[in-house]
Structure 1
Amino acid sequence: MSVVYLTRRDPSRNLARFYRMLMAPTLFGEWALIREWGRIGSGGTVRADPYPNAGAALLAMQALVREKKKRGYVMKTAEPV
C-alpha cells in the first residue's frame, strides 16, 4: 500500500489544507485510488476511484500529485496521527 500526504498552508489567508492518497487492492481484483482531503485537524471528504490494475492507479496518483504541487501543496514525509 502506497500513501502520499500533501499539505498546503497560508496563514495570511487562514488556509490549512491536506490531501492524502493511497492505493489498495479491492475484493474484485481491481485497484482503488483512495483520496481524502479537507482542512487540517478535521475529518475530510473521502473518495475511492477503481482502476483495472495497480499501474493505472499509480499513474493517476502521480498525475494528481503533480496537479496538487502546481497549486502549492508540498509533500510530507510522514503523516500526522
Structure 2
Amino acid sequence: MLNLILHTPNAGRFYRVEISDNLFGEYTVLREWGLHGCAGSQCLRWFSNLRDAVTAAESARRRAQKRGYLLIEAGAAHAA
C-alpha cells in the first residue's frame, strides 16, 4: 500500500517503512534499516485498523528524519 524510503547522505544507510494489508483484514508496518548493499534488520508489527498502522508508520518516519535520514521516495501501490 505505502512505501517510504529514507537514506542518510554520505553515510550509506537506509531506512524503509512499508504499510500493507493481508487477507485477514489486518495491516502490517514493516520497518527495515541498514547499510546499502548489505542485509538490513527488520521489525514487523500488526494492526487491526489502518489508522493505527499509518500512525505507527508516520511516527517511525519522523524518528528517522530526526536522526538525519532524508525522504527519497514515497509511493503507494494501487490495487487492481
TM-score by length of 2: 0.82
2:58 maps to 1:55: no
Which structure 2 segments of 5+ residues have no match?
Answer: 76-80
| Structure with larger RCO (C-alpha < 8 A, sep 6+) | 2
CA distance in 1, matches of 2:13, 2:5: 11
CA RMSD of aligned residues (A): 1.7
Residue in structure 2 matched with residue 38 of structure 1 by the alignment? 34
Query: Measured at CA, do residues 56 and 37 of structure 1 come closer, stay the same or move farther in structure 2, by a change above 3 Å?
Result: same
Unaligned stretches of 5+ residues in structure 1? none
Corresponding residue number in structure 2 for 1:6:
6
TM-score by length of 1: 0.81
Matched length: 75
Identity over aligned pairs, percent:
33
> Stretches of 4+ moved more than 4 A in 1?
none
Q: Could you report, residue by residue, the CA deviation over 1:15-36 in whole angstroms, capped at 9, with x for unpaired residues?
A: 3210011111123221000111
Aligned partner of residue 9 in structure 2, secondary structure = strand
Where 1:43 maps in the other structure, the secondary structure is coil
Query: Quick one: structure 1 residues 57 and 78, their matched pair in 2 at CA, closer, same or farther if it must change by over 3 Å?
Result: closer
Distance in 1 (alpha carbons) for counterparts of 2:74 and 2:26: 27
